Chains A and B, each alone.
Chain A
Amino acid sequence: VSWWRSHSLRISLTLWNVAAMVLVLAVYAGGVYLFVSRSASNSLDAEIRYDYQWAAAMADQLPDGSLKWFQEESNFGDNTPWLQVWCGDPTGCGPRATQGEVIFRTVKADRDPIPETKELVGQANNQIVSIPVEPTNYRVLTTPTTLKFFDNAGQPVNSRHVIIQVARSELPMRREMRGLLFILLFWLPIAVLTAGIFGYTLARRALAPIEKMAERAQSISADNLHDRLPIGNPKDELGRLASVFNDTLGRLESSFEQMRRFTADVSHELRTPLTAIRSVGEVGLRERRDDKAYRGIIGSMLEEVDRLASLVDRLLRWSRAETGQTKLSQEVIDLRDLADDVVGYLGVLAEEKQQSLTVAQAGTPWGLGDRQVLRQALIDLVDNAIKYTPEGGAIEMRVSESSENVTIDVVDSGPGIAPELRTRIFDRYGRGENAGPDAVGGAGLGLSISKWAVEAHGGRLTLEASNSVGSTFRITLPRAVTPAATRPIHAA
């Protein structure tokens, strides 16, 4: 088995092909040989019986009563038949022959005597018997018969019991069969060899694209994921295989790209607090200060460390969720309840800016998802909305249902997101720049992580609308058919 496995598909295809060919040809050749040899043997028997009828018809009686065949035997040449006639008449056959004697024998029978024929006469039964005579067998037909003789007027004269023996050598038949066998055995290997070469070439030609694909696939690494496999004929099996591979490569490339961008964002985010810590430390060391000033400096360094730590915490949680170490649950969530929970949690931040933070509901929006994850995503969205909405503005969460989905919109009355930033807000972190860098704070990765989180368990997070009077972010979840279980009570 291991030998078989160690060979390429090309070789095994060829071997199968050849094996099938050998089997078919062997059966075919065997069949042909059997059929031809049987029919040759039958026709030999038929010839012998014809010889007998001929011999019986050729008998002639001389005036003295003796029997005679073939007056002009020499005319037959080599084709002279093997014929032997015995007298079977108790009254004898003519003046010189008595019962049990040979009356007549052709030259050929003289030349190739068959000793066993005398025995056969004793049990003459119209059967053809094969008798070995060097160099091959003779088939002998021994038939008792009564020869009737008539005069010129057609009146019966007398009749004689004789035993006619005719024989033919099997040699011509055997020779023919040997010729046939030779042809079959000679051409069979040639046919198999031809089929093998043809099959190998065909297999190689058919599998060449696979080899090419393998070569190309081997050369594709993380650095050139944009490379694709060649597609010969997109409709055949190999073409389909190649395009499936290409789809996979495409997905790999986009997730690699996403990962790369995410890593770049994270590095950027981590860099900011680190730079701050460093510069605060440097400023602190520049001159001698009093105790209180040092405490202040250390405090602000610790604040940055805190920010860094919470960022790292969050990333760690997400990488765990991403790699499947944290299982996301699929529970039924009452979005109204979730929105109220978030209002209770972040309400104070809105109050500080004299903003209204309200919830509007349409239908019974029960969705499926992981409550923890969704809550964090919603908190991030509302937190952002509070940051970007000016003092005294309004923020509304609208929960609603459709036939298949439930949605929760976070509508702010901020400055909107610049059109060129809209496509990038989720992947590359751009804070709304027209808000000014000092207007807001907080970890910048919020939106991209939230999007990732929501989509990790079958939801969508999209920017629905954004203009000068505000932006609308929407979380879409698959709709749940069963009602939300017990509502946990969340204190404000």
Chain B
Amino acid sequence: VARKVTRAGKKVELTLREFELLEYLLRYEGQVVSRGTLARDVWQEANRSSSLDNVIDVHIARLRRKVDADSPVKLIQTVRGVGFMLREEEA
């Protein structure tokens, strides 16, 4: 399966996991996705752990760096204490 992600015509290089994460956030665009949901649906881990939370945070940070760093409009939002959400928002 070929995967390709572009933003404003520019190609974004993503790892498999980053791609799955972005795809999941896009699917639930405008909704808050909790870490627990990501752990279950993207990482397919039955149990949450603090290390998994860290792993998710690192992936979100990387994804944000690749997707949002060069743009004044940020797509990936952190909702503190709840999770993450994909929505257009001015920085």
Q: Which of B2-10, B23-31, B53-61, B68-76 lies at the binding interface?
A: B53-61
Interface of B is mostly: helix
Bound complex: CA of A302 vs CA of B36, how far in Å? Answer: 13
Residues of B within 8 A of A302 (CB): 80-82
Residues of A within 8 A of B62 (CB): 348
Residues of A within 8 A of B16 (CB): 491-492
A-B contact count (CB 8 A): 62
Interface members, chain A 431-445 (any B CB < 8 Å): 441-443
Cβ-defined partner of A349 (8 Å) among B51, B81, B82: B51
Interface of A is mostly: helix
CB nearest neighbor in A for B78: A299
Residues of B within 8 A of A307 (CB): 50
Bound complex: CA of A379 vs CA of B55, how far in Å? Answer: 12
Q: Min CB distance, A372 to chain B, in Å?
A: 8
CB nearest neighbor in B for A351: B58
Residues of B within 8 A of A376 (CB): 47, 49
Residues of B within 8 A of A345 (CB): 55
**B66 in the interface (beta carbon within 8 A):** no
Q: Min CB distance, B18 to chain A, in Å?
A: 10
**With known contacts A299-B81, A310-B49, A349–B55 Cβ distance under 8 A:** yes
Bound complex: CA of A305 vs CA of B55, how far in Å? Answer: 19
Bound complex: CA of A364 vs CA of B16, how far in Å? Answer: 30
Q: Is the beta-carbon distance between B55 and A346 smaller than 8 angstroms?
A: yes
Bound complex: CA of A317 vs CA of B48, how far in Å? Answer: 11
**With known contacts A299-B79, A302-B81, A306-B35, A349–B50 Cβ distance under 8 A:** no
Residues of B within 8 A of A442 (CB): 50-51, 54
Bound complex: CA of A340 vs CA of B55, how far in Å? Answer: 16
Q: Min CB distance, B89 to chain A, in Å?
A: 13
Residues of B within 8 A of A492 (CB): 15-17
**A60 in the interface (beta carbon within 8 A):** no
Chain A: interface size category: 20 to 34
Residues of A within 8 A of B58 (CB): 348-349, 352
Q: Is the beta-carbon distance between A295 and B80 smaller than 8 angstroms?
A: yes
CB nearest neighbor in A for B54: A349
Cβ-defined partner of A491 (8 Å) among B17, B46, B47, B53: B17
Among B47, B62, B79, the most chain A Cβ lie within 10 Å of the Cβ of: B47
Residues of B within 8 A of A491 (CB): 16-17
Residues of A within 8 A of B49 (CB): 310, 314, 376, 379-380
Residues of A within 8 A of B53 (CB): 306, 310
Q: Is the beta-carbon distance between B81 and A306 smaller than 8 angstroms?
A: yes
**A301 in the interface (beta carbon within 8 A):** yes
11 A-B pairs with CB atoms under 8 Å apart are A302-B81, A305-B81, A310-B48, A313-B47, A348-B55, A376-B47, A380-B51, A383-B50, A383-B51, A491-B16, A492-B16
Besides the known contacts A302-B80, A302-B81, A310-B49, 5 further A-B residue pairs in the complex with CB atoms under 8 A apart = A301-B81, A349-B58, A491-B17, A492-B16, A492-B17
Give residues in B with beta carbon < 8 Å to A: 15-17, 35, 46-51, 53-55, 58-59, 62, 79-82
Instruction: Pick the 9 closest A-B CB pairs, nearest first.
Output: A299-B80, A302-B81, A299-B81, A383-B51, A442-B50, A303-B81, A348-B58, A310-B48, A443-B50
Give residues in A with beta carbon < 8 Å to B: 295-296, 298-303, 305-307, 310, 313-314, 317, 345-346, 348-349, 352, 372, 376, 379-380, 383, 441-443, 491-492
